[in-house]
Chain A
Amino acid sequence: MKKNAQAGSALVIIVVGVLVVAVAGVVLWRWWGAAHPAPTAQNNTAGLTADTDNNSLDKDLSTISKSIGQEQTDGTSVDTALNDQQQEIAVPTE
């Protein structure tokens, strides 16, 4: 009877000990988490936005470069038309 009582007390102590350790672990886990936050979704989005903006700027530069290249082509057409002004010869009337 006495041995059974001793065994029961030991079991209670073990269960209580396990519970204390578990609660302490949870508390420690939460404290660590608060002290070392994981990268937030907002920070990731900001990084992606910067990359996207840089790509967007590169695309704009490329588009404008082509547009200015077209200006040069149109400028050549103007020069050709001005050279062709000599085709405005007078019609012989004699």
Chain B
Amino acid sequence: MKKLLIATGISITLSFTGVASALAIADSGQTQLSNVITRGTQEINRRLTTLNTLSSKINSATRVTSADKDALHKEVSAEISSLTELRTKLAAETTLTAARTDARSIVTEYRVYALIVPKAQIIRLADSVLQSNSKLSALAQKLQTRITDAKKAGEDVAALQNQLDTMNESITEANITANSVQAKAIQLQPTDYNSDHTILGGYRDQLHAAHLQNVAALATARTIVDGLKSL
């Protein structure tokens, strides 16, 4: 009888311990779920703020082509809509696994900071380089007219013509580079960044080279104008 009582006591104790452990685990899981939802919501809100600021900057940009503005605006608007839907979905999750999947997708599916924002800035820089490039090209045509007229008037313009040829080479190289970067960058998606984290840095370097070609063309143009004035 004594043994039976002891065994019963042990069983009851073990049962209580098991229930308590199960409750503790359940409570811990609920806390984890709550934490993931809270932190995920914060991260989504941070991204939505950034995207809304970016959208305003795109709209007010004066040196971005209307086609690029439309493309970027559509992309940013789509990200804002999707992230807003994800925020609602995450808040309604009841399992830790589903909440974790949602939270991870905030980074891997959207790439707001890693791709979208720098991509928009790269497109803006490419268009900016192309705008200067177009002005340089128009100036080169004027300079060619002046040099041709001076040659007809009997002036020695060989040196000026060589400088203008060099200027045109710089203009062409900058134009090809900036157009290439613009055409590739506008199509970039988060998956492209996922497979190559350095892709935007490469575009930045190419645009820097194009910028330097524009700078060189301007310096050459100044020399040519001085030469024309001295004829």
Contacts and interface: CB of A to CB of B under 8 A. Distances in A.
B73 interface: no
Contacts of B104: 90-91, 93
Interface string A37-54: 000000000000000011
Contacts of B39: 91-92
Contacts of B36: 91-93
A54 B114 contact: no
27 contacts: A53-B142, A54-B225, A54-B228, A54-B229, A56-B142, A57-B139, A57-B225, A57-B228, A60-B138, A64-B132, A64-B139, A64-B218, A68-B218, A70-B63, A70-B128, A75-B204, A78-B118, A78-B121, A78-B207, A82-B118, A82-B200, A84-B118, A87-B113, A91-B106, A92-B36, A93-B99, A93-B103
A64 B207 contact: no
Interface in A68-94: 68, 70-72, 74-75, 77-82, 84-94
A85 to B, nearest CB: 5
Contacts of B131: 67
Interface residues of A, number: 34
B186 interface: no
Interface of B: 32, 35-36, 39-40, 43, 63, 99-100, 103-104, 106-107, 111-114, 117-118, 120-122, 124-125, 128-129, 131-132, 135-136, 138-139, 142-143, 146, 200-201, 204, 207-208, 211, 214-215, 218, 221-222, 225, 228-229
Interface of A: 53-54, 56-58, 60-61, 63-65, 67-68, 70-72, 74-75, 77-82, 84-94
B142 A60 contact: yes
Nearest to B119: A81
Contact of A53 (B125, B135, B146, B218): B146
A74 B125 contact: yes
Closest 3 pairs (CB-CB, A-B): A81-B118, A88-B113, A67-B132
A71 B126 CA distance: 9
Contact of B139 (A61, A68, A75, A77): A61
Nearest to A87: B113
A88 B111 contact: yes
